[in-house]
Structure 1
Amino acid sequence: MYFSKQDIDNRRARLAPKWNEVLTKGEAVLVYAGAPIQKPGGLDNTYTYLPHPSYYWLTGRRREEEVILYSVDTGWIEFQKVLGKETAFWEGEKQDVLVDTPGKSLVDLDAFLKQFTTVYKLGQTSDYKKEGKAFTLNTLLDQTRRVKDDAEIKLIRHIADIAVHGYKKIAEVLRPGITERDIQIAYEAEIFRNGAHTTPYDSIVGSGPNAAILHFAPSQRVVGEQELVLVDAGADIYDYCVDITRTFISSGEMESRQKALYQLVKLVQDSCTKMTKPGVYWRDVHNKAAALFTEGLLHLGILKGNLSDLIAQEVVYMFFPHGLGHLVGLRVRDTGQEENLHPKTYFGARLRVDIQLEPGHLITMEPGMYFIKPLLEDEDNKKKFKECINWEELNHWMNIGGVRIEDNLLLTDSGNDNLTAAIPKISI
């Protein structure tokens, strides 16, 4: 199995002292696993069940409707669901218990709670609010599980190795005449053959101008000669995952503008990867990327004017409209940063995380440059950046699409470890 009882005990031991500073005697915390969600009009048909990641992280169990309780008085107690005969008849014995630990029956929960004066509800529950002590407890839980333990890192490395097979398969099959959907099928079939359970998000495949659409769903568009093809696709085992992007050329070598765009994105990724280490604020890494992109666009003649003025005007948002990365690992967005109630924007982008990096954090590094027609052809944007963008030169770039390169960086004591480095990139 992927996790042991010792792994689970260690996680709880990391969290309990933090909660003990907040909780008083007579108070308890519940973390709910959640229940399946019915499909609209689906009668008894539900979406594939996913346990709340906080419950799963604390228990190693993926069984619906369960709860784990913690209090200063009792320590950790699991309230578990016993599978009935009907479930066994329809679905068989589920493979939803990765770590089998002793617990009480779920039917005993209500009676057990009567001894507590206050109960705080976390996990998948409608009672949770972003305020008060419950919010503080949830923040401490999120901050604790952001730091990946050895078992989690081992599993994520294994998943990254699976993704290598998928990206190598793309390189084998990619050619003019293939469709975006063909590329998706080739990738996903290969990672499934090599042990992935599913994909952590809908695979993105955009060719030619479609590569400029950030979350493009692969279509029946036929890939043309010498086109950029952007693939953003991951792999998943029991909700742990990697999130990777590579940009390919469909045939031959890149022409000069394609090559210049790819080199700029690669330069930004390399520079920002070197900067990514404990103690650094993620917003500073994002801002470094934005400044380098601004300088690169000015060098290419797409922007015009004074570099410092262009940086101050944040014109780079027109070509780099998203954050540089996000936490990843247990789900594709991992913990996010729920405690940041008033997120700021940097160069037009709202960062999913605005934190100081620590050893054990796992974050994506995904700079990208795109020529997004809805942004660039918007009349308000054209008026706002009339003097910043060389619109005549821009016309030569509009159909290139875009380039994104994405890796997953594990923060270490001395810097970072690229867990997805084995997935090839274009050598230019």
Structure 2
Amino acid sequence: MLFAESVYKTRQGKVADAWKGLLGPQDLVLIHSGEAVQKPGGLDQTYDFLPHPSYFWLTGHRRDEGVMAYSVSEGWIEHQRPLSPVDIVWEGAEGNFECEHTLVDLQKKLQGGAYKRVFHLGQTSEKSFEAETRELSIKLDQVRRCKDSHEVQLIRQIAAMANKGYQALQNALRPGITERELQLHYENAVLMAGADKMPYGSIVGSGENAAILHAVPTKKKVVSGELVLVDAGADIEDYCVDITRVFAVDGKFTGQQKDVYDLVHDAYKASVALCRPGTQWRDVHMKSARVIAEGLQQWGIWKSSVDAALESGAISVFYPHGVGHLVGLKVRDTGNPENVNPQRYYGARLRVDLELKENYLITVEPGCYFARAFIEDNDLREKYKDHIQWSEAEKWKSFGGVRLEDDILITKGEAESLTNVVLK
């Protein structure tokens, strides 16, 4: 287990409390870890198994086909497929465990007629009562959305591993090195520092590629005078960090680069300052967008006022994404399933739209980009012809972009960056 057994018992108790009033004496909740997925054309090969995060968070176990059961009368009981000699010979027994209750035991219980309603959560194709299942799932997500001290400490450790990668990448950065080589310098250092894997495909974009939000590292060589944007993390058993930094290839920003960097840094600081319990996340996003819009006004990008550029959504040409997302156990963590109809705020569609609470962990990642694909798009030019001075925007389309990102813990007072070990 990643944490002490008592940590998981505490978590189970919190979820049981959250479900009070939702379950009757003849109800059963089953949380499935999921099944291994065969690779297309891979014959006996499967993808690396990733347990559903709710199952893993409650049990600390990573076996496929596991089921965690909860009923008011019996409490929590975990069921597993027994580990066979074939499993051990092919895959080894390290990290596995012997479970007192098997899937056969569970099947007998279900066939015995003791339960009127069975709810299936986690990674499963089983059907159950839709509205009630959704409510149980949301309650579970809301409990695990608040990070406990053990999770916070682990994420700090993972951030230190990511820092080794950023140091290695920065040391390797020079004109002529490729984006792909920078990725390898980063990832090798992170893995050598103790990480299991990367939490997502590492993003390395130089020059104009820095304006591609999910830039896949290529064989493109970085050039003197360019910026390099790196969005990369580290992962231990699905716990992870998500960090973005920007570097000058020559080790020093040009005046124009520093202006954009400072603008995004101002948006970052203003956003973090708002990250307190009771704040609506949409307000954090809108504050970041306003700071970016005011900076663009100084450079002659707007025909209209800052307010008009924001309300029309024109700001989304240069800042097309939300200011952040929940992070921790997987890079998107619990998400925000309560948000059934995501709204747009200043042109950006916010999948996370909730009130911040103590111990939430969320990324703050404002950005300012001059994407050639947007600047040259005829539909966007027509849509925002009354707001954007396109002749001025044209002058920026080879610039690329700047994004800064940290993982921010909401506390009773000022928010805390768990990833500030990586220097900006």
Q: Structure 2-normalised TM-score?
A: 0.97
Distance in 2 separating the partners of 1:295 and 1:9: 50
Change (3 A) 1:333 1:20: same
Change (3 A) 1:34 1:287: same
Distance in 2 separating the partners of 1:350 and 1:250: 33
Greater mean alpha carbon deviation, residues 390-399 or residues 330-339: 390-399
Counterpart amino acid of residue 209 in structure 1: E
1:146 counterpart residue number: 145
Determine if contact 2:2/2:60 at 8 Å carries over to the other structure. no
Change (3 A) 1:59 1:207: same
Distance in 2 separating the partners of 1:106 and 1:353: 36
Q: CA deviation at 1:67?
A: 0.2
Q: CA deviation at 1:291?
A: 1.3
Q: CA deviation at 1:387?
A: 2.5
Determine if contact 1:233/1:244 at 8 Å carries over to the other structure. yes
1:92 counterpart residue number: 92
How many pairs are equivalent? 422
1:42 counterpart residue number: 42
Determine if contact 2:363/2:408 at 8 Å carries over to the other structure. yes
Q: CA deviation at 1:373?
A: 1.8
1:108 counterpart residue number: 105
Counterpart amino acid of residue 107 in structure 1: V
Greater mean alpha carbon deviation, residues 107-116 or residues 48-57: 107-116
2:168 counterpart residue number: 169
1:377 counterpart residue number: 376
Q: CA deviation at 1:129?
A: 7.0
Alignment of 1:46-57 (within 5 A): 46-57=46-57
Distance in 2 separating the partners of 1:55 and 1:244: 26
Percent same amino acid at aligned positions?
Answer: 47
Secondary structure, aligned partner of 1:76:
strand
Q: CA deviation at 1:403?
A: 0.4
Change (3 A) 1:228 1:128: farther
Q: CA deviation at 1:391?
A: 1.9
Query: Deviation digits for residues 175-213 of structure 1, max 9, x if unmatched?
Result: 101000000000000000000000000000000000010
Secondary structure, aligned partner of 2:183:
helix
Q: CA deviation at 1:73?
A: 1.1
Determine if contact 1:368/1:405 at 8 Å carries over to the other structure. yes
Counterpart amino acid of residue 326 in structure 1: H
Q: CA deviation at 1:381?
A: 0.7
Query: Deviation digits for residues 230-275 of structure 1, max 9, x if unmatched?
Result: 0000000000000000010000422222111111100000111111
2:187 counterpart residue number: 188
Q: CA deviation at 1:94?
A: 3.2
User: Are residues 1:406 and 2:405 paired?
Assistant: yes
Change (3 A) 1:313 1:238: same
Q: CA deviation at 1:127?
A: 2.5
Secondary structure, aligned partner of 1:20:
coil
Greater mean alpha carbon deviation, residues 16-25 or residues 125-134: 125-134
Distance in 1 separating the partners of 2:43 and 2:337: 33
Query: Deviation digits for residues 105-163 of structure 1, max 9, x if unmatched?
Result: 22211111231111000000113579311110000001100001111111111101111
Distance in 2 separating the partners of 1:7 and 1:105: 23
Q: Structure 1-normalised TM-score?
A: 0.96
1:228 counterpart residue number: 227
Counterpart amino acid of residue 196 in structure 2: H
2:200 counterpart residue number: 201
1:274 counterpart residue number: 273
Alignment of 1:274-423 (within 5 A): 274-423=273-422
Change (3 A) 1:260 1:96: farther
Distance in 2 separating the partners of 1:327 and 1:202: 18
User: Are residues 1:249 and 2:235 paired?
Assistant: no
Q: CA deviation at 1:307?
A: 2.2
Determine if contact 2:375/2:390 at 8 Å carries over to the other structure. no
Secondary structure, aligned partner of 1:234:
strand
Determine if contact 2:313/2:348 at 8 Å carries over to the other structure. no
Distance in 2 separating the partners of 1:103 and 1:140: 28
Query: Deviation digits for residues 261-303 of structure 1, max 9, x if unmatched?
Result: 1111000001111111111010110011111111111112122
Distance in 2 separating the partners of 1:340 and 1:397: 36
Counterpart amino acid of residue 111 in structure 1: K
Determine if contact 2:158/2:240 at 8 Å carries over to the other structure. yes
What RMSD, in angstroms, separates the aligned Cα atoms of the two structures? 1.4
Query: Deviation digits for residues 17-44 of structure 1, max 9, x if unmatched?
Result: 1212200110010000001111111111
Determine if contact 1:226/1:252 at 8 Å carries over to the other structure. no
Q: CA deviation at 1:308?
A: 2.1
Greater mean alpha carbon deviation, residues 47-56 or residues 287-296: 287-296
Q: CA deviation at 1:311?
A: 2.1
1:58 counterpart residue number: 58
Greater mean alpha carbon deviation, residues 73-82 or residues 170-179: 73-82
Determine if contact 2:229/2:401 at 8 Å carries over to the other structure. yes
Change (3 A) 1:305 1:129: farther
Counterpart amino acid of residue 106 in structure 1: L
Determine if contact 2:33/2:66 at 8 Å carries over to the other structure. yes
1:74 counterpart residue number: 74
Distance in 2 separating the partners of 1:62 and 1:130: 27
